[in-house]
Amino acid sequence: MAGKGEEMGLMKFVPWWMKVLAKLFLSKLPFSYRFWQKLGLFRHGQMDDPERAVSTFERYFAKAVECRKLRDGFSCLELGPGDSILSGAVASAFGAKSVWLVDAGHFANTSINDFREVAQKLKRNGKELPISSHTIDVAETLRALNIKYLTEGTESLKEIPEGVVDFFWSQVVLEHVSRAEFPEFTRQLRRVVSPDGIGVHSIDFRDHLSGGLNNLRFTDKVWESSFFSDAGFYTNRLRPSEMIELFRQAGFSVKVLSETKWERMPIKRANLASEFKAMPDEDFMVAEIEILLRPTEIVER
């Protein structure tokens, strides 16, 4: 689920097809994600920076409360926190009494000093983090703030009680939920959201290789194979209209808050895999969107 992978250094200048070959090769080597993370080759976002952790949560939270004021002591769910769980502490400072952080693996590498830095940053912004400066470790901090870090993706959503999440958000994560898993993911997400819950999500439809749509060159048989999907560059390739429809089928209303488009299709139709050739041009023009999700019955009242 997490997946907000970002190439570092020279990888930014490598052609997309060489990145595919390199990642396929590297993924078969007997090293963990933590090893590549320490080398600076791959990262799941940049939320391990206290400044960014605060500003990013604040931005998504502001989008939600523009639509509806959250109740005192709201509960919060972040999908795909990536390399850091600092956002859970930020949510607590903004009034969350319980926080779930759900990812597809244990990617976070947060230290107690990181939490202290976030506490200092929040205090400068007029927000108090309700933990003692004498807290000695991360586990103690998570207990004190009622933060649960779950790392089994959609299966972890099943551990959250029904109808308890008031605010849920993600930053360029949903495109990494596997295509086969996405319908169940949306059903589980709808199950845990409270009757008047609200969510804000940014979704990046680019290929995460070169910022284009080169991932659409491959057939489903190739792209969805474990050989490819486990190599660190997987996206589900759902087109914006398909993803929005799956959310609607699960019981969400969907409002597009913003949209980034290409001026023209970034890939020639002749280079599309057969699965995509019949789709309209519009499905290939959207690079990124930000959406607001609410339970359908709330909107229909």
pLDDT in tens, 202-260: 999 999 888 999 999 999 999 999 988 888 889 999 999 999 999 999 999 999 999 99
For residue 300, the model assigns a pLDDT of 46
Task: Identify the helix (H) or strand (E) that includes residue 101.
Answer: strand 98-102
Residue 83: what pLDDT?
87
Structure tokens at 157: 């959503």
Q: What is the predicted pLDDT for the residue at 161?
A: 98
pLDDT surpasses 70 at 3: no
What pLDDT score was predicted for residue 77?
Answer: 98
The yes-or-no verdict on residue 86 having pLDDT over 70 is: yes
Q: Among 174, 298, 176, which Cα is nearest to 247's? A: 174
In this predicted structure, the answer to whether residue 9 has a pLDDT above a threshold of 90 is: no
* pLDDT in the model for residue 301: 44
- Do the beta carbons of residue 79 and residue 118 sit within 8 Å? no
Position 111 confidence tier, pLDDT thresholds 50, 70, 90: confident
Q: Which tens digits make up the pLDDT trace of 14-56?
A: 788 788 877 777 767 665 555 445 545 554 455 558 888 999 9
Give every strand in the sheet of 75-79, ordered side by side: 147-150, 98-102, 75-79, 165-171, 193-204, 286-295, 252-261
> Residue 4: is its pLDDT beyond 50?
no
